[in-house]
Amino acid sequence: MPDSVDAKYILGGQGNLWTESVTDERQVEYMTWPRAMAIAEVYWSPKKGKNYNVFVQRVETHFKRLDASGVKHANSIYDPLISTTKAKGDTTFKSVEISLNTEMKGLDIYYTFDTSLPDDRSLKYEGKPLSVPNGASEIKAITYRNGKPIGKQIDLKLKDLYKKTN
CATH topology of domain 76-165: Immunoglobulin-like (2.60.40)
CA atoms within 13 A on the CB side of 57: 6
Can you list the positions of beta strands (E) in 20-106? 81-85, 97-101
d(CA 71, CA 4): 39
Question: How do the domains of the chain map onto residue ranges?
Answer: 7-69, 76-165
Q: pLDDT tens digits, the chain, 166 residues: what are they?
A: 778 989 899 888 889 999 888 999 999 999 999 999 999 998 888 888 889 889 999 999 999 999 999 999 999 999 999 998 875 666 555 667 899 999 999 999 999 999 999 999 999 999 999 988 888 889 999 999 999 999 999 999 988 776 655 5
The CB density around residue 11, as the number of other CB atoms within 10 Å, is: 6
